[in-house]
Amino acid sequence: MVYKVLCSIAVLWSAAGAQTVEIALPEGDAAALYAVIEQEITLSIRADLAGVGGVSGLVFHLAVPAGSFAYEAPTPFRQGALFAGATEFSNDALRGEKAIGGPPGMDVLSYALVTGPAGQRGRTGRGEVARLVLRPLRTGAVPIAFVQSPAYPGNVVLDDGIGERSFQHMRGIELFVGASGKPAIGDTWAALKLQFQ
């Protein structure tokens, strides 16, 4: 059975131009979910670009503990509808020592795309940026966090195709991976709710 969990990346712009990116459950009230070892989980990376003049691309990097997941080879992300037809510049899983400059003991999943030089290159609205399919390899709590550093920036690419702005806030999630279909008792609200389903 394939567990599909839609998580969203919301890009919110204030009048000052501050951006926010996050992964959250669709209900928005929990930042944790349950998975079963060796069963696929599909995460939907979604963007909300409402109120933005135009964005021609995105770049983001996710950090996960090394050895926690198997990723689709050779590219872990599948392009979503919001930037359909865009050119992918990065779609890689950098494992362990290959993630130079990344957080110690973590794999870094990189994704970057930009739309072409057409007249309608700027995208606005809401939609799916990418999908990420993971297969858990170990049990326990496994965080998935955004990386924001000079080596691994998190940016929106402006509609000129050149200018970029950093995301101002990034919020990750935590998966609880169990050996069976019953969730282990966790100390989060999401884990408690799952016990009574």
The residue among 91, 60, 96 whose CA lies nearest residue 76 is 91
Q: Give the tens place of pLDDT for each residue, 166-191.
A: 776 677 788 889 887 655 445 555 55
Q: List, as one string, the DSSP characters of 21-73.
A: EE-B-TTSS-SEEEEETTS-EEEEEEEE-TT-S-EEEEEEEEEEETTSEEE-S
pLDDT of residue 11: 34
Residue 195, classed as helix, strand or coil, is: helix
Which pTM value belongs to this model? 0.78
The reported pLDDT for the residue numbered 186 is 53
Q: Does the pLDDT at position 75 exceed 60?
A: yes
Confidence class of residue 133 from pLDDT cuts 50, 70 and 90? confident
CB-count exposure of residue 117 (10 Å: 0-12, 13-18, 19+): exposed
Rounded Cα distance, 138 and 44, in Å: 22
